[in-house]
Amino acid sequence: MNLWECVRVAIEGLVAHKSRSLLTMLGVIFGVAAVIAAVSMTQGAKAATLEEFERFGTNVLTVRPGHRHRHGIWSGEEQNLTLADAKAIAEDCPSVVAVSPELRSSAQVKAGNKNTNTRILGTSEIFPRVQNFEMAEGTFFNEHDVKTRRKVAVLGPEVVKNLFGEGEFVSGKRIKIKGITFHVLGQFESKGQMHWFNQDDQIVIPITTAVYRVIGSGGGPRERLNSIAVQYERVEDAETARAEVEALLRERHELSPDRESDFLIMSPTDFIQGMEDASRIMTLLFGSIAAVSLLVGGIGIMNIMLVSVAERTREIGLRKAVGATRKDLLLQFLIESLILSLIGGTIGVLLGVSISFLLRLVGINTAVSLPWVIIAFCFAASVGIVFGILPARKAALQDPIQALHYE
Element (H, E) at 338: helix 326-361
Q: Are residues 125 and 250 in the same domain?
A: yes
Q: What is the mean pLDDT of residues 6-16?
A: 71
Number of domains into which the chain is organized: 2
Amino acid in the structure at residue 5: E
| 138 bridge partner residues | 186
- Report if residue 61 sits inside a domain: no
pLDDT (tens digit per residue) in 62-81: 888 876 554 444 555 556 78
Higher pLDDT, 371 or 273: 371
CA dist 141 → 147, 155, 400 (Å): 11, 12, 94
DSSP 58: S
- Report if residue 288 sits inside a domain: yes
Please tell me the predicted confidence (pLDDT) of residue 147: 93
Please tell me the predicted confidence (pLDDT) of residue 327: 67
**pLDDT confidence band for 354 (50 / 70 / 90):** very high
pLDDT (tens digit per residue) in 103-123: 999 999 999 889 999 999 999
Highest mean pLDDT among 17-21, 42-46, 125-129: 125-129
Q: Are residues 104 and 173 in the same domain?
A: yes
CA dihedral 284→285→286→292, nearest 10 degrees, is 100
Measured CA to CA, the distance from residue 135 to residue 160 in angstroms comes to 13
Q: Are residues 180 and 295 in the same domain?
A: no
Q: Name residues whose C-beta falls within 8 Å of residue 296's C-beta, 6 or more positions apart in sequence.
A: 27, 31
Q: Are residues 255 and 349 in the same domain?
A: no
Three-class secondary structure of residue 67 per DSSP: strand
- Report if residue 351 sits inside a domain: yes
Measured CA to CA, the distance from residue 100 to residue 87 in angstroms comes to 9
Measured CA to CA, the distance from residue 337 to residue 176 in angstroms comes to 75
Measured CA to CA, the distance from residue 36 to residue 356 in angstroms comes to 8
CA dist 275 → 37, 268, 285, 351, 367 (Å): 19, 10, 15, 28, 16
Q: Are residues 324 and 246 in the same domain?
A: no
- Report if residue 16 sits inside a domain: yes
Q: Are residues 172 and 244 in the same domain?
A: yes
CA 74 to chain centre: 23
Q: Are residues 313 and 291 in the same domain?
A: yes
- Report if residue 64 sits inside a domain: no
Please tell me the predicted confidence (pLDDT) of residue 185: 95
| 24: phi then psi, degrees, rounded to nearest 5 | -65, -35
Q: Are residues 255 and 117 in the same domain?
A: yes
CA 364 to chain centre: 11
Contact 67, 74 (CB under 8 A): yes
Q: Are residues 115 and 247 in the same domain?
A: yes
Please tell me the predicted confidence (pLDDT) of residue 404: 52
Q: Are residues 333 and 400 in the same domain?
A: yes
Which of 261, 289, 317 represents a domain boundary (last residue)? 261
Q: Are residues 277 and 241 in the same domain?
A: no
Measured CA to CA, the distance from residue 322 to residue 307 in angstroms comes to 23
CA 322 to chain centre: 61
Q: Are residues 151 and 206 in the same domain?
A: yes
Which residue range is the domain that position 283 belongs to? 3-52+273-404
Contact 61, 232 (CB under 8 A): yes
Which of 209, 237, 261 represents a domain boundary (last residue)? 261
- Report if residue 70 sits inside a domain: no
pLDDT (tens digit per residue) in 211-221: 888 886 555 56
- Report if residue 268 sits inside a domain: no
